[in-house]
Copies of this chain bind each other. A is one copy, B any other.
Amino acid sequence: MQPGKGQKEKNFKQRLILKSRLAKETISEFLGTFIMIVLGCGSVAQAILSRGLFGGIITINVGFAMAVVMAIYVTGGVSGGHINPAVSFAMCLFGRMKWYKFPFYVGAQFLGAFAGAATLFGIYYDGLMSFAGGKLLIVGENATAHIFATYPAPYLSLTNAFADQVVATMFLLMIVFAIFDSRNLGVPRGLEPVVIGLLIIVISSSLGLNSGCAMNPARDLSPRLFTALAGWGFEVFTAGNNFWWIPVVGPLVGAVIGGLIYVLVIEIHHPDLDPDFETEQSEDKTDKYELSVIM
């Protein structure tokens, strides 16, 4: 190897290495959400476009869950693998992430989800075109809009829909907090993503009937916007009695409640977190557990 060449290569790499940690984390969240949408919504696409022949509720639930697992494995070491504004919101609120990062994380998540939806549209372009004679439909047996975003069941009222998203995301965050709580039972380090995958499988198997269990504003809103622009039309927003805002607002509320339940019922009672003990320890910590915002 010529020294000159190696040096030049290193300069090239040096330019590539992002100096700012925040920039790294932003691009990581973009990539993670991108992966989740292509592989997760892709599992829905395969089931719908094959009319159930090469996919169904099981491949969708397992596929979406494992898409999240893989997104976390790719990005977890850099940005924590939130890939969900509701998760980032709860992390900030409970002192696990600083607020100034929040807009960067959330922006990257929305952009990554949009890019993922566009990529999936490209991969299945021929399939989508042949599915309903070239039409991109929102309702009926030839509908394909629900490949990208979630829509409520016909029986569902808006009140029940909102409660559904709040409760599902509440369970998601409550248990995610437990999975990462090393003073609880403790998932072995490096296996947290797999257990989160199992968690998503059970939530989407149990609370997925009402409205598809989005639990994630970026996962739902960005692909919905993409479908509006790509040919399904802006009825994707008015469908289901203007359902679109439910999987955006509901998860934020549910994430706060879920985190709060875990912290109040389980976490603050851990033996090594009694007040005197923490007084000694907390000097060099950031404002962990600062619940002042919501109390």
Task: Using CB atoms and an 8 Å cutoff, list the residues of chain A in contact with chain B.
Answer: 1, 5-6, 9-14, 16-18, 24, 27-28, 31, 35, 38-43, 45-46, 49-50, 53-63, 66-67, 69-70, 72-78, 81, 119, 122-127, 129-130, 153-157, 160, 163-164, 167, 171, 174-175, 178-179, 181, 183-195, 197-199, 201-203, 205-210, 261-262, 264-266, 268-270, 273-275, 278-279, 282, 287, 289-292, 295
Contact = CB atoms under 8 A, between A and B. Distances in A.
Contact of A210 (B124, B153, B184, B205): B124
Contacts of A129: 155
A73 B178 contact: yes
A289 to B, nearest CB: 7
A252 B285 CA distance: 48
A144 to B, nearest CB: 13
A178 B129 CA distance: 34
Given A31-B266, A39-B202, A70-B202, 5 more contacts: A6-B282, A14-B275, A62-B201, A76-B184, A125-B160
A41 B206 CA distance: 8
Contacts of A63: 201-202, 205-206
A184 B153 CA distance: 40
Contact of A42 (B46, B193, B207): B207
Contact of A16 (B10, B56, B264, B278): B264
A102 B53 CA distance: 39
Given A31-B266, A275-B13, A202 B43 contact: yes
B209 A46 contact: yes
A269 B78 contact: yes
A278 B12 CA distance: 14
Contacts of A6: 282
A209 to B, nearest CB: 4
B184 A155 contact: no
A149 to B, nearest CB: 16
